[in-house]
């Protein structure tokens, strides 16, 4: 029986392949962009208030900072405790058009040794984890020009 593909967090991303995008919100009054998305009110303390609309974020950005995760994080992160922990690279990516930094994992196989500050990366679909019935999807950052 095939697994169901389900976003780990509903409403944070959409699309496949070149159409894959993280989803944020933009305030109609001050034009501030938020990710994760904001559905209640503008978080800009200088804003007089406006409506929030869903917007796709830039697919590409530049590495602002990075590190590696050498330990199994606590709940709510899900991992199989019966399998050995595999470290992964964590990347903070600056999206210039949105003037914000978005954190995420690097694609499997990319380590901190492969990354440099300022390197161009792109958001791509990824897998957070899988169980017997479901593949829980997320986003990963992949250096531009590297195939998954």
What pLDDT, in 10s, does the model give residues 55-67? 999 999 999 999 9
Tokens of 44: 């800009």
Q: What pLDDT, on a 0 to 100 scale, did the predictor assign at position 148? A: 55
Tell me if 22 sits within 8 A of 35, measured CB to CB: yes
Tell me if 69 sits within 8 A of 102, measured CB to CB: no
- For residue 125, the number of C-alpha atoms closer than 13 Å in the C-beta half-sphere is 13
Closest CA to 35 of 13, 62, 6: 13
State pTM to two decimals. 0.87
Tell me if 103 sits within 8 A of 67, measured CB to CB: no
* Domain definitions of the chain by residue range: 4-143
Mind giving me the DSSP string for 80-98? -TTSPP--EEEEEEEETTT
Length of the chain equals 148
Q: What pLDDT, on a 0 to 100 scale, did the predictor assign at position 76? A: 65
Task: State whether the Cα torsion 100-101-103-104 is positive or negative.
Answer: positive
- Flag residues of the chain having pLDDT under 70: 1, 76, 147-148
Q: What pLDDT, on a 0 to 100 scale, did the predictor assign at position 101? A: 97
């Amino acid at each position: 029986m095939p697994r169901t593909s389900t976003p780990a967090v509903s409403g944070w991303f959409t699309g496949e392949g070149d159409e894959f995008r993280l989803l944020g919100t933009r305030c109609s009054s001050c034009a501030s962009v938020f990710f994760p998305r904001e559905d209640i009110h503008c978080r800009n303390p200088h804003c007089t208030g406006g409506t929030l609309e869903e917007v796709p974020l830039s697919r590409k950005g530049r590495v602002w900072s990075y590190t590696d995760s050498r330990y199994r994080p606590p709940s709510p992160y899900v991992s199989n405790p019966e399998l050995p922990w595999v470290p992964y690279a964590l990347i903070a990516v600056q999206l210039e058009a949105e003037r914000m930094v978005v954190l995420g994992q690097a694609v499997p196989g990319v380590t901190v040794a492969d990354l440099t500050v300022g390197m161009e990366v792109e958001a791509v679909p990824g897998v957070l984890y899988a169980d017997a019935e479901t593949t829980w999807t997320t986003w990963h950052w992949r250096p531009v020009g590297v195939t998954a």
